[in-house]
């Protein structure tokens, strides 16, 4: 990180930020192109690893890339506000962001899928105790993105 004075290394601060945000952008490499898709996510620390859960259809570009090109980049940002000034060049912004790389895996086990979707719904709605009917669970692709590395920055 070029601006080490803006780096956040406190795991509690990073975790709180990741739990508060709702949208991450996942970047796939697709045969010479970069494909970036925004997804709602749920965050959890599991066995010391940063894990992000998201879902989608069992078809399409995102699904195919998750299966065939599972190494990804990701980005989450928030707390953005413009700091105005008298001149254009003096304007700035406050923000916090996390960027990283990781590996996406498709969850197949129904219990794992329910748990992952529960984490996502808790983060999205603030509520727990959701149920997921078996027929909908069967039609839904649920993914785990396990971070290999991540960094957090704020201004």
Supply the Cα-derived Rg of the chain in whole angstroms: 17
State the total domains in the chain: 1
88 pLDDT higher than 90: no
Single pTM value for the model: 0.90
- Range of the structural domain that residue 147 is part of: 4-154
**What CATH code is carried by the domain that includes residue 70?**
2.30.110.10
6 pLDDT higher than 70: no
Per-residue model confidence as pLDDT tens digits over 93-116: 777 889 999 999 999 999 999 999
Per-residue model confidence as pLDDT tens digits over 34-57: 999 999 999 999 998 999 999 999
The pLDDT value given to residue 80? 72
- Nearby residues of 12 by Cβ (< 8 Å), 6 or more positions away: none
Lowest mean pLDDT among 2-6, 117-121, 142-146: 2-6
4 pLDDT higher than 70: no
Contact between 25 and 35 (Cβ < 8 Å): no
Closest to 24 (Cα-Cα) out of 60, 55, 46: 55
- Give the pLDDT band (50/70/90) at residue 83: confident
Per-residue model confidence as pLDDT tens digits over 17-30: 999 999 999 999 99
Closest to 18 (Cα-Cα) out of 123, 116, 122: 123
């Amino acid at each position: 990180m070029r601006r080490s004075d803006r780096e956040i290394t406190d795991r509690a601060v990073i975790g709180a930020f990741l739990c508060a945000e709702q949208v991450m952008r996942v970047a796939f490499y697709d045969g010479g192109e970069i494909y970036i898709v925004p997804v709602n996510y749920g965050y959890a620390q599991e066995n010391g690893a940063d894990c992000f859960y998201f879902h989608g259809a069992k078809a399409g570009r995102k699904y195919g890339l998750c299966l065939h090109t599972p190494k990804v980049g990701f980005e989450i940002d928030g707390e953005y506000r413009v700091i105005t000034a008298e001149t254009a060049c003096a304007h700035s912004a406050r923000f916090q962001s996390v960027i990283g790389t990781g590996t996406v895996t498709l969850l197949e086990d129904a219990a794992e899928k329910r748990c992952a979707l529960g984490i996502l719904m808790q983060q999205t709605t603030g509520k727990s105790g959701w149920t997921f009917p078996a027929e909908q669970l069967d039609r839904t692709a649920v993914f785990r993105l396990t971070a290999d590395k991540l960094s957090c920055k704020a201004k």
